[in-house]
């Protein structure tokens, strides 16, 4: 490994660190577990027919995402810097590799701007549920979602509330903010999920849900499904934009990196599967279809809750769970940008959190208006038709999601994998991997996955994105 001191010492004593390995695992799992697990994974499992899709997703996590996670945390821990500084520490001045770090910071900013809008919906739904949303008819529930989507002021309000919560926590610091919040919120989240799961396991529809999620049925798997599973493994594990790298930069100890990454990826996957086993039984026993797409959680599920005894209570619990999961993810998205501003421009944390948070709030305005504004909705759809084909244009919100999930994260993940596997000097990389690890003998397997399997997998995602595969 090149000498990190080229970028100057990492100002030891100034950088905050996690107080324990558990604190890191909780924060990193908090980043990973979010809307991607409880909203997106169930609906893409639904649209892809379950079974095989889930299996392929598990393979993608093990063979592609997990090696990248180890690489990200390792790079952050070794450099004690946020993404741009970490790349600078191990490359020549002005090296194009720094671009991967910049891409990460930009991705954090972009993702947070629309993620916070959807996160706001979860708060709105939790509030509606508490007010007795359970009593509404199916048609009214469909209308509620359509109305929310088309109401810029309501979207903006909840987006602002969510950003304010995120800014408040990040401004308080690694210890008193991120660590304290995740230490409280993660057990709450797991507790709520378990309560919902136990309820689901005792009810009807559970057997069908198990079969849908784990049963392998012939003729189900499509190439598009395989690539969607692979792409999702990046998003759900917060990879490719330096979130894990930044959290890794607050690690001091020579912890077992592999064991830590396996714990984070394992918990994240467990939450995704549990979310399916909570949602599908409710959907099936209400006689609804699993493959409806993004409306699964915001339309179908509330309809099903409405038919259930005590449905309002369970609905409120579910949407609070979703809000908590989203909050521990938005914290990490903002932290990437804040850490960057602190490291690169020596900004104070509070000022960085407020500045970056307000800028994100602004960038989120067009997303909040995508459902209800002619310009950012239909206007953007028309504008992007030449790119995506007639009738396939994307509004502002969908466009950002598409750019971030299909391009920025896979590109960033590929960059990090190639950088760590080819660029960073072998001896120090080996030492960093093996330090304190029970999995030292997996070193060469890890390097081989980074060098060959990750580029092949990500390459396939790109070829698919441009319509070649």
Task: List residues near ligand PFF by CB under 6 A.
Answer: 31-32, 34-37, 111, 235-236, 238, 241, 243, 329, 332-333
Report the residue number, 116 or 285, with the smaller CB distance to ligand PFF.
Answer: 116
Q: Which is nearer to ligand PFF, 256 or 268 (CB)?
A: 268
Q: Whole-angstrom Cα distance, residue 220 to residue 270? A: 23
Start-to-end Cα distance in the chain: 37
Closest distance to ligand PFF from the beta carbon of 31 (Å): 5
CB 278 within 8 A of CB 144: no
Least gap, CB of 332 to ligand PFF (angstroms): 5
The least CB distance from residue 215 to ligand PFF, in Å, is 25
Least distance in angstroms from the C-beta of 40 to ligand PFF: 7
Shortest Cβ 275–ligand PFF spacing (Å): 11
| Residue whose C-alpha is closest to residue 166's, from 336, 23, 38 | 336
Q: How far is the CB of 241 from ligand PFF (least distance, A)?
A: 5
Q: Output 269 or 373, the one with its CB closest to ligand PFF.
A: 269
Nearer to ligand PFF, 36 or 410 (CB): 36
Q: CB nearer to ligand PFF: give 44 or 424.
A: 44
- If the CB atoms of residues 247 and 380 are measured against ligand PFF, the closer one turns out to be 247
Rounded to a whole number of angstroms, the minimum distance from the CB of residue 94 to ligand PFF is 26
d(CA 451, CA 448): 5
Q: Which is nearer to ligand PFF, 31 or 144 (CB)?
A: 31
Dihedral sign for Cα atoms in the order 169, 173, 176, 182: positive
329 or 406: CB nearest ligand PFF? 329
Alpha carbon of 356 to those of 86, 121, 335, 381: distances in Å? Answer: 20, 22, 9, 28
Given the complex with ligand PFF, which of 1 and 73 has the nearer CB atom? 73
**Minimum CB separation from ligand PFF for residue 445, in Å?**
25
Determine the Cα–Cα distance for residues 345 and 322; give it in Å rounded to an integer: 35
Q: To the nearest whole angstrom, how small is the minimum distance from the Cβ of residue 217 to ligand PFF?
A: 27
Q: Residue 1 or residue 327: which is nearer to ligand PFF going by CB?
A: 327
- Rounded Cα distance, 341 and 364, in Å: 20
CA distances from 183 to 123, 160, 176, 261, 367 (A): 21, 24, 10, 18, 31
Minimum CB–partner distance for residue 242 and ligand PFF (Å): 8
**Cα(43)–Cα(39) distance, integer angstroms:** 7
Please state the closest distance from residue 235 (CB atom) to ligand PFF, in A. 5
C-beta of 155 vs 405, nearer to ligand PFF? 405
Nearer CB in complex with ligand PFF: 40/464: 40
Rounded to a whole number of angstroms, the minimum distance from the CB of residue 272 to ligand PFF is 9
Residue nearest to ligand PFF as judged by C-beta position: 36
CA dist 236 and 450 (Å) reads 19
């Amino acid at each position: 490994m090149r000498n990190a001191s080229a970028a100057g010492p990492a100002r030891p004593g100034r950088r905050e660190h996690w107080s324990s390995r558990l604190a890191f695992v909780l924060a990193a799992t908090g980043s990973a577990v979010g809307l991607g697990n409880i909203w997106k994974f169930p609906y893409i499992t639904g649209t892809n027919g379950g079974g095989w899709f889930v299996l392929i997703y598990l393979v993608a996590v093990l063979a592609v995402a997990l090696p990248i996670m180890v690489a990200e945390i390792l790079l952050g821990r070794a450099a004690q810097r946020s993404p741009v500084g970490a790349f600078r520490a191990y490359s020549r001045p002005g090296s194009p590799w720094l671009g991967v770090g910049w891409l990460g910071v930009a991705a954090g900013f972009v993702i947070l701007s629309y993620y916070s809008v959807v996160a706001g919906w979860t708060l709105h739904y939790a509030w509606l549920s508490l007010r007795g949303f359970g009593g509404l008819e199916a048609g009214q529930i469909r209308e509620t979602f359509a109305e929310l989507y088309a109401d810029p002021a309501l979207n903006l309000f909840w987006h602002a509330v969510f950003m304010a919560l995120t800014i408040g926590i990040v401004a308080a610091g690694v210890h008193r903010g991120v660590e304290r919040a995740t230490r409280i919120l993660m057990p709450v989240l797991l507790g709520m999920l378990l309560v919902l799961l136990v309820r689901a396991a005792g009810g009807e529809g559970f057997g069908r849900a198990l079969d849908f999620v784990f049963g392998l049925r012939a003729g189900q798997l499509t190439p598009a499904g395989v690539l969607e599973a692979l792409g999702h493994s990046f998003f759900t594990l917060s990879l490719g934009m330096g979130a894990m790298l930044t959290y890794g930069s607050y690690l001091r100890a020579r912890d077992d990196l592999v064991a830590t990454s396996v714990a984070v990826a394992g918990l994240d996957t467990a939450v995704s599967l549990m979310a399916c086993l909570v949602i599908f039984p409710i959907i099936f026993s209400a006689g609804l279809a699993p493959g409806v797409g993004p409306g699964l959680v915001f339309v179908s599920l509330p309809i099903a809750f409405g038919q259930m005894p005590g449905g309002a209570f369970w609905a409120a619990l579910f949407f609070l769970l979703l809000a908590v999961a989203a909050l521990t993810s938005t914290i990490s998205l903002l932290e990437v940008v804040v850490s960057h501003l602190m490291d690169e421009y020596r900004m104070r944390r509070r000022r960085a959190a407020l500045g970056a948070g307000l800028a994100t709030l602004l960038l989120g305005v067009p997303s909040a208006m995508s459902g209800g504004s002619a310009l950012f909705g239909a206007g953007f759809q028309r504008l992007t038709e030449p790119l995506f084909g007639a009738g396939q244009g994307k509004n502002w919100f969908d466009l950002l999601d598409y750019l971030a999930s299909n391009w920025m994260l896979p590109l960033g993940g590929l960059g990090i994998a190639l950088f760590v596997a080819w660029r960073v000097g072998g001896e120090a990389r080996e030492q960093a991997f093996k330090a304190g690890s029970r999995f030292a003998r997996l070193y060469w397997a890890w390097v081989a996955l980074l060098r060959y399997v990750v580029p092949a997998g990500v390459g396939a995602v790109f070829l698919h994105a441009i319509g070649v595969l």
